């Protein structure tokens, strides 16, 4: 439906088909734009598939505008589940968090209090209540306070990307997977004209959306744009289980655990991430994660390590999203952020609207790419 938008661009190249690229492209396609998805790999199989994939705003309190955008992201997921069906991607089962030392516990409860003041849904249980009511397989002290964020969720990112791209392609979008962008051509006025691919082809386009995740800085460089990024690797391990013993995402002391679909549990830890650059390989990191997890969920002691990967988080230098137009390069837009799972659907909707209407939403006011000077 094209009502309410300015003249549609002839062709939009979305570079990177993780959750952000898929969401932007899906929203553009459903409003009648001609979209071509481009990815060096396969849709959803990069960092989107190798993240904790936790939909939340409870971990986004450092800046109010970031919190508000994340709350909007949570709402956008619920709307998306109604629009396309939850299928095998949407798991709104809440999130548990607890600590094992007094300082961390005090910080956790202080954050919970702040969130409650912002009308964020917060419930506090004891460990014994959690084992009795929510997660019987956990081992934790009976008196420890456990914060339950009931409106949070986890997402199977690869499945969601597959649904969005599949619907867009069925509506006329084009998918170029397994080929990388090696050149972005501009006209005499500096505006976007072409995209050159590693397979030798060259596409005529009006718009480029840089949703290339960890490679976003490289793509920005193709238009002489400086996009500073942090280097933050993260180790993710999948554990194969005969029966998944947990029902929701959780931050336990020293390890994060969530279900990952039938027969699988996913593990992550910031403490283990800190060891990535010390020379330990993925297999050693996986064993450490597995050991930490079995102290929280003893049943995982009998499970096997199935897959491990070290992925690089796409985080702009100041830690916040870079979303929107770059006026110095007409036709070039960015959609680069950590927490892509939380923000994907809302950023996809807002950026597509900005591309089609020329109007920027107030939710994105603090996250304009122009804040990074050349």
Which range (6-10, 86-90, 359-363) has the least confidence?
Answer: 6-10
User: What whole-number distance in Å separates Cα of residue 82 and Cα of residue 52?
Assistant: 23
Assign residue 115 the CATH number of its domain: 3.30.9.10
Q: H-helix or E-strand containing 195?
A: strand 192-197
pLDDT value, residue 373: 76
Q: Is residue 75 part of a domain?
A: no
Residue 194 has pLDDT above 60, yes or no: yes
Residue 5 has pLDDT above 80, yes or no: no
* Domain-terminating residue out of 267, 285, 312: 312
Sheet holding 95-97, edge to edge: 123-126, 145-149, 95-97, 249-252, 255-259, 264-268, 233-240, 304-312
pLDDT value, residue 60: 97
Q: Is residue 68 part of a domain?
A: no
User: What whole-number distance in Å separates Cα of residue 161 and Cα of residue 318?
Assistant: 27
Confidence of residue 7 (pLDDT cuts 50, 70, 90): low
Segment 118-143 mean pLDDT: 98
- Beta-bridge partners for 174: 36
The two structure tokens encoding residue 77 = 């997921």
Domain around 349: 12-50+157-230+316-371
Please give the mean pLDDT across all residues of the chain. Answer: 96
Contact 265, 244 (CB under 8 A): yes
Q: Is residue 277 part of a domain?
A: yes
Total domains in the fold of the chain: 2
Q: Is residue 278 part of a domain?
A: yes
pLDDT value, residue 262: 79
Same domain membership, residue 252 and residue 292: yes
Same domain membership, residue 240 and residue 218: no
Q: Is residue 58 part of a domain?
A: no
Segment 102-111 mean pLDDT: 97
Same domain membership, residue 307 and residue 237: yes
**Site of tokens 């170029």:** 176
Confidence of residue 2 (pLDDT cuts 50, 70, 90): very low
Segment 306-324 mean pLDDT: 97
Percent of the chain with pLDDT over 70: 98
Segment 198-214 mean pLDDT: 97
Q: Is residue 56 part of a domain?
A: no
Contact 128, 222 (CB under 8 A): no
Same domain membership, residue 197 and residue 299: no
Same domain membership, residue 287 and residue 161: no
Same domain membership, residue 235 and residue 219: no
User: What whole-number distance in Å separates Cα of residue 70 and Cα of residue 55?
Assistant: 8
User: What whole-number distance in Å separates Cα of residue 371 and Cα of residue 374?
Assistant: 9
pLDDT in tens, 270-284: 999 999 999 899 999
* Domain-terminating residue out of 312, 329, 358: 312
Confidence of residue 9 (pLDDT cuts 50, 70, 90): confident
Residue 261, sorted as left (phi over 0), alpha (psi -120 to 50) or beta, turns out to be: left
Same domain membership, residue 248 and residue 135: yes
User: What whole-number distance in Å separates Cα of residue 129 and Cα of residue 135?
Assistant: 9
The two structure tokens encoding residue 240 = 């194969």
Residue 1 has pLDDT above 50, yes or no: no
User: What is the Cα Rg of the chain in Å?
Assistant: 21
Q: How far is CA 345 from CA 27, 44, 83, 164, in A?
A: 9, 14, 12, 10
Segment 260-267 mean pLDDT: 94
Residue 121 has pLDDT above 70, yes or no: yes
Segment 137-143 mean pLDDT: 97
Q: How far is CA 327 from CA 50, 128, 362, 370, in A?
A: 33, 56, 18, 8
Confidence of residue 8 (pLDDT cuts 50, 70, 90): confident
Assign residue 222 the CATH number of its domain: 3.50.50.60
Same domain membership, residue 361 and residue 271: no
Same domain membership, residue 141 and residue 26: no
pLDDT value, residue 6: 58
User: What whole-number distance in Å separates Cα of residue 72 and Cα of residue 35?
Assistant: 25
Same domain membership, residue 242 and residue 146: yes
Q: Is residue 104 part of a domain?
A: yes
Segment 207-222 mean pLDDT: 98
Same domain membership, residue 235 and residue 307: yes
pLDDT value, residue 291: 98
Same domain membership, residue 302 and residue 171: no
Q: How far is CA 179 from CA 12, 100, 206, 340, in A?
A: 17, 47, 20, 22
* Domain-terminating residue out of 288, 312, 336: 312
DSSP string, 266-332: EEE-HHHHTTGGGT--HHHHHHHHHHHHHHH-GGGGG-EEEEEEEEE---BTTSS-EEEE-TTSTTE
Q: Is residue 356 part of a domain?
A: yes
Global confidence as pTM: 0.95
Q: If we measure between CA atoms, which residue out of 272, 277, 242 comes closest to residue 257? A: 272
Residue 220 has pLDDT above 60, yes or no: yes
Confidence of residue 10 (pLDDT cuts 50, 70, 90): confident
The two structure tokens encoding residue 164 = 């969005």
The two structure tokens encoding residue 115 = 């969130």
């Amino acid at each position: 439906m094209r009502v309410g938008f300015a003249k549609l661009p002839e062709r939009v190249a979305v570079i990177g088909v993780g959750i952000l690229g898929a969401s932007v492209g899906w929203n553009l396609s459903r409003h009648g734009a001609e979209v071509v998805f481009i990815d060096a790999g396969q849709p959803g199989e990069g960092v989107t598939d190798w993240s904790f994939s936790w939909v939340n705003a409870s971990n986004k309190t450092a800046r109010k505008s970031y919190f508000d955008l994340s709350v909007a992201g949570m709402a956008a997921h619920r709307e998306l589940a109604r629009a396309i069906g939850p299928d095998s991607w949407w798991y709104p089962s809440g999130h548990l968090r607890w600590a094992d030392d007094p300082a961390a516990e005090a910080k956790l409860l202080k954050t919970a209090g702040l969130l409650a003041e912002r009308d964020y849904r917060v419930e506090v249980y004891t460990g014994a209540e959690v084992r009795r009511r929510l997660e019987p397989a956990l081992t934790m002290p009976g008196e420890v306070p456990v914060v339950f964020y009931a409106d949070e969720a986890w997402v199977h990112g690869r499945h969601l990307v597959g649904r969005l791209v599949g619907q867009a392609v069925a509506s006329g979008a084009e998918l170029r997977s397994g080929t990388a962008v090696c050149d972005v051509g501009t006209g005499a006025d500096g505006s976007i004209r072409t995209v050159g691919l590693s397979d030798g082809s060259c596409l005529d386009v009006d718009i480029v959306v840089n949703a290339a995740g960890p490679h976003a800085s490289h793509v920005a460089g193709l238009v002489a744009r400086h996009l500073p990024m942090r280097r933050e690797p993260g180790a993710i391990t999948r554990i194969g289980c005969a029966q998944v013993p947990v029902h929701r995402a959780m931050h336990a002391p020293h390890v994060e655990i969530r279900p990952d679909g039938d027969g699988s549990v996913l593990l992550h830890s910031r403490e283990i991430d800190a060891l990535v650059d010390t020379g330990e390989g993925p297999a050693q990191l996986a064993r450490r994660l597995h050991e930490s997890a079995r102290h929280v969920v003893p049943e995982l002691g009998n499970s096997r390590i199935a897959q491990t990967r070290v992925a690089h988080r796409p985080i702009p230098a100041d830690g916040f999203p870079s979303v929107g137009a770059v006026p110095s390069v007409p036709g070039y837009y960015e959609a680069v952020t950590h927490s892509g799972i939380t923000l994907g659907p809302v950023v996809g909707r807002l950026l597509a609207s900005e591309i089609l209407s020329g109007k920027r939403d107030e939710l994105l006011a603090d996250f304009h790419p122009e804040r990074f000077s050349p």
